[in-house]
Structure 1
Amino acid sequence: MDVHRDFAQIAVVVGGAVSDAGRVGCRPEALREWAATLTAEDQVALEATGNSDAIAGLLSHYAGRVVVSNPLKTRAIAEAKIKTDKVDARILAQLLAADFLPPVWLPDERTAMLRRMTTARAHLVRQRTRIKNRVQAVLHRNLMPRPPVTDLFGKTGRAWLERQPLPEDERAAVVSLLRQLDFLGGELAEADFAIAKEAVGDPAVRRLMTIPGIDVIVAISIIAAVGDFARFESADKLVAYLGMHPKIRQSGNSPAIHSHITKTGRAQSRGMLVEAAWTAAKAPGPLRAFYHRVKNRRGFQIAVVATARKMLVLAWHLVTKDQDYAFARPSLVAFKRRKLELAAGAPKAHAHRGAGYDYNDKQLRRYERDLIETSEHAYERLVASWQPSRPAGADRIEFHPTSEAGKTQSRS
């Protein structure tokens, strides 16, 4: 099936022979009517698009197998000299018949819901950021000074904003933007409440929140992208799935060349991990020591991505082995979990101290921080003499010059 918004072009392979089977509408009634002609021996292939999950879910009740292919890996279609709907459908059918079609994982109902929820929240955050930037642009083009407060859109910042001598049209624009910002703030609060209700009973979320820098939003974004952690044989498989491993180019006897990360998978979850890595790089612990170790050699940009990758590997181990992070600060973890419970609508405990109250004890916080810093220093001493390993095959590359005076030489 070469799927579009309103229709899908059908091609059929039977006994190695390819034939066109016309079009079918991409509405539930039309798809069910066509799917009723399928049997348990039939297999259906379609590329991943905006509506492919819904189509695959509907057809899975009729066909024996439904494969949603990865369009980035279906290069036969992308590089075809002649590209029409019929040609695309024929190529998909032939690849499926030959079992050469690279499939994508279809999420279960809960994972698909979490993906929709996190995507909607990310859209609200982007809209709020655009509006805030537009307000800053108004101040900039009218030669206003920088705001004396950290949060221009808080109570103190808005009071300062009202006192600025802006033209009438510009002031009206600022007032309009602030109204939009308040509306989006309410929508964002509703989205956070819905996510918190879904996350509060998830044991994987509670495990991930023990890692420094990971809060409920980052944790649920990772779970929405990954689904079942157990479907990955190793942490490296998960890293590759989210596109956080470097590209590698190697041919013949030449050494392998490592470049930027592949950036496959869900960009939203990858971005959330990088944001969490910035926070982890400032908190005491082995992750901060790892960040500074890489930063001293490769710079801060590579260091923060490497830290995000390290956190993803750590997440796989914690969830699959059902363990909490060994270097977590107990009072901080309790505070984060209690904050999640309150965000999900749990009643406030005014009469007695709750589970997260210990985080208010400065002496206890200092004690826990000292313990984690000790672990950080131990990690620094452990890796102080480590040297970056060379790519395989790069230690010695021999070449034989053609001139008589030349001798066999080697390059390390």
Structure 2
Amino acid sequence: MPIYAVLDVSDKATHVCVVDVEGAVLRREVMASDPAILAKWLGRYCPDLVRVVMETGPLSTFLYHGMVARDVPIECICARHAKGVLSARVNKSDVHDAEGLAQMARTGWFKRIHMKASATHFDRAAIRIRAQLITARTAMINQLRGLLKLFGLQLGSARAPGKRAGRLSVLYSQRPDLEALFAPLLASIEAVEKQLRNLNSNLEKRAASDPVCARLMTVPGVGPITALTYTMSIEDPRRFARGDDVGAYAGLVPRRSQSGERDTQGHISKAGDPMLRHSLYEAANILLTRLKRPCALQTWGRKMAEAKGPKRAKIAVARKLATLLHSIWLNETEFRWA
């Protein structure tokens, strides 16, 4: 008799629920969130296993690849979709969630998630670390600016390390007692900037050595970070039937609420991969504001900015870039200037 299992995963323990083809619960268990333990238990108690389902989460990648390596027929489903189904229950608990997910696994009414390879997650981790370092540097520099204002001093627009050091030397000549006070904060800023330079250099070399990234970087506004983020987020361009679907995957399409005579389009959905969305928006911003050599996409975006505002224009250009990069990747071509 075909049976279906679900894993309701948490950091320490995983609730397992097994149901038959009629939806009757056959077995429940709580085990450690370890793929070896889970695969061993499923192989022992679920000989006719058809499908194992779990939601997306922090441990989903680790468990998915561990279970696949042990020949477990596992699939990962969209947590947002699952939340909508599980919200029908009055009381929320791990046991109820596991049983509800098991019924979803039995009926097949769920959205499968493409699980990225382990090597892809290694590169994505480098991009995330870079973003975190930039956030830390920005916070510390803003803290420095705010503390200087307490003493009537202004750092000004000195962003480069050399200009900042020169500006601080001028300010310290007015208040020599502040140099020792701000030394720990400045040392931390310099350490973060050093790590950022090293990481940026490694990422640029990684993008230059990848033929796909090299082709994507021929598009105006697209640099090494955007090219790497795009290839790591998409991974396989053939899993999208159309290039326009990439914009929806990045959350760059408007939300729609339609019922009867009401049909409203709101702000962008912001669903999907936020790293991809942010990198495409940044590339669109560079294309519209910094690019000196004109191109058709820039001209189209600037006309939209005049009609609907710069923010909407950047989103629209980012959506166009998502489609354009998908076409270049799929067709193995390069950008041609008009």
Residue aligning to 1:312: 322
SS of alignment partner, residue 213 of structure 1:
coil
1:25 Cα offset (Å): 0.2
C-alpha displacement of 1:252: 2.5
Match of 1:77 in 2: 86
- 1:262 and 1:212 map into 2 onto residues whose CA distance is 26
In the other structure, the counterpart of 1:272 is 279
Shift of 1:19: 3.8
How far the C-alpha of 1:174 sits from its partner, in A, is: 2.5
Give deviations 1:236-256, integer Å, cap 9, x for gaps: 2111111111111222344x3
Match of 2:121 in 1: 112
**Maintained 8 Å contact 2:155/2:168:** no
**Gapped runs of 5+ residues in structure 1?**
328-374, 376-412
- Per-residue Cα deviation, 1:292-315 (whole angstroms, up to 9, x for no partner): 111122111111111111111111
CA distance 1:192–1:252, shift in 2 (3 Å)? same
What is the Cα deviation at residue 187 of structure 1? 1.9
Distance in 1, Cα, partners of 2:39 & 2:17: 17
1:61 and 2:103 are equivalent in the alignment? no
Look up the match of 1:297.
307
Contact 1:277/1:311 (8 A) holds in 2: yes
CA contact (8 A) 1:40 1:64 kept: no
Tell me which of 168, 192, 211 is aligned to 1:203: 211
Corresponding residue number in structure 2 for 1:45: 53
Q: d(CA) in 2 for partners of 1:126 and 1:157?
A: 18
Equivalent-residue separation in structure 1 for 2:234 and 2:141 (angstroms): 32
Give the 3-state SS of the residue equivalent to 2:276 in structure 1: helix
User: What is the CA deviation profile of residues 318-374 of structure 1, one whole-angstrom value per residue up to 9, with x for unaligned ones?
Assistant: 1111111111xxxxxxxxxxxxxxxxxxxxxxxxxxxxxxxxxxxxxxxxxxxxxxx
Letter aligned with residue 110 of structure 1: A
**Is the 1:67–1:103 contact (alpha carbons within 8 Å) kept by the matching residues of 2?**
yes
- 1:89 maps to 98
Q: Aligned to 2:269, which of 262, 275, 282?
A: 262
Task: Confirm whether residue 326 of structure 1 aligns to residue 329 of structure 2.
Answer: no
| AA matched with 1:158 | A
Q: Which has the higher helix share?
A: 2
Q: Is the 8 Å Cα contact of residues 42 and 64 (structure 1) preserved in structure 2?
A: no
Matched AA of 2:287: A
- For the residues of structure 1 that align with 2:231 and 2:176, how far apart are their CA atoms? 48
Q: 1:72 to 1:186 in 2, by over 3 A?
A: same
What residue in structure 2 maps to residue 103 of structure 1?
112
Q: Which is higher, the Rg of structure 1 or of structure 2?
A: 1
Inter-partner Cα distance in structure 2 for 1:152 and 1:174: 17
TM-score by length of 2: 0.89
Give SS of 1:281's match.
Answer: helix
Shift of 1:226: 1.2
* Structure 1 residues 145 and 129: alpha-carbon distance in aligned structure 2, compared to 1, 3 A threshold: closer
Q: What amino acid maps onto 1:288 in structure 2?
A: Q
Write the deviation string for residues 138-174 of structure 1: whole angstroms up to 9, x where unpaired. Answer: 2233222452xx4344223212212213474x54442
8 Å contact kept, 2:250–2:271: yes
CA distance change for structure 1 residues 290 and 166 in 2, over 3 Å: closer, same or farther? farther
Alignment check: 8 A CA contact 1:39 1:62 kept: no
| 8 Å Cα contact 1:77/1:88 also seen in 2 | yes
* 2:14 aligned residue (8, 22, 46): 8
1:285 matched to which residue of 2? Answer: 295
- Identity percentage over the alignment? 23
State how far apart, in whole Å, the 2-side matches of 1:21 and 1:114 are. 37
After superposition, the C-alpha distances for 1:5-62 in whole angstroms (9 at most, x for unaligned) are 0010010111321244211101355334324435574311111110111111111234
Alpha carbons 1:12, 1:93 under 8 Å: kept: yes
- Give the direction of change, closer, same or farther, for the CA distance of 1:230–1:98 in structure 2 (3 Å limit): same
Deviates more, 1:100-109 or 1:77-86: 77-86
2:297 partner amino acid: L
* Equivalent of residue 192 in structure 1, options 191, 200, 224: 200
Distance 1:83 1:294 in 2: 47
Who is 2:260 aligned against?
A: 252
| Farther off after superposition, 293-302 or 193-202 | 193-202
CA distance in 2, matches of 1:216, 1:40: 48
Name the SS of the counterpart of 2:272 in structure 1. coil
Q: Residue in 2 aligned with 1:125? A: 134
Structure 2 unaligned regions, length at least 5: 1-6
Q: Kindly tell me: are residues 12 and 173 of structure 1, through their superposed partners in 2, closer, same or farther at Cα, counting changes over 3 Å? A: farther
Residue 185 of structure 2, aligned match among 177, 181, 186: 177
SS in 2 for 1:294: helix
Which deviates further from its counterpart, 83-92 or 56-65?
Answer: 56-65
Matched, 1:135 2:144: yes
1:225 to partner: Cα distance: 1.3
